[in-house]
Structure 1
Amino acid sequence: MAKALVGYLGGPTPAQLHQSALLKRRVADLEAEVERLKTENDGLLAALHERVESVTAADLLEPVGR
């Protein structure tokens, strides 16, 4: 129905086109941020895995300092 109304009114206005461009840019920025966070998370998981692999039984028996 919205498409029919826009078509009936003569198409999107310049303000609507500008808003659409802004929203598309925001979506692209958010998608890039998601990819950056995924990469950072993968790095943190790899570092955690390396740290866990290096823990020995002796490390677990050491008293915790206060």
Structure 2
Amino acid sequence: MAKALIGFVGGPTSDQLRETARMHRRIADLEAEVLRLKIENDGLLAAVREHIEPVTAGDLLEPAAH
């Protein structure tokens, strides 16, 4: 039945193998980009945390001074 779904009785064609290889490379490139962006985001968050005063729930309940 699997052969009928694929539409032929042999293995994958050379075009299919090339397309599969291309897709694997693209996936690897995208995974690397996601990792790079996560690392960059973590660095940006760390930099922001160094410059922002922590806010507690109590701070939010106090009336603002004018």
Offset at residue 7 of structure 1 (A): 8.5
Corresponding position of 2:22 = 22
Q: Structure 1: any 5+ residue segments left out of the alignment?
A: 54-60, 62-66
Partners of 1:13 and 1:47 in 2: CA distance:
51
Corresponding position of 1:41 = 41
RMSD: 2.4
Offset at residue 4 of structure 1 (A): 2.7
Query: Which TM-score applies when normalising by structure 1?
Result: 0.70
Corresponding position of 1:4 = 3
Q: Structure 2: any 5+ residue segments left out of the alignment?
A: 54-64
> When you count helix as a share of all residues, which structure comes out higher?
1
Partners of 1:14 and 1:34 in 2: CA distance:
30
Instruction: Please list every run of at least 4 consecutive aligned residues from structure 1 whose deviation after the TM superposition is greater than 6 angstroms.
Output: none
- The AA in structure 2 aligned to 1:27 is I
> What number of residue pairs does the alignment pair up?
54
1:13 aligns with 2:8: no
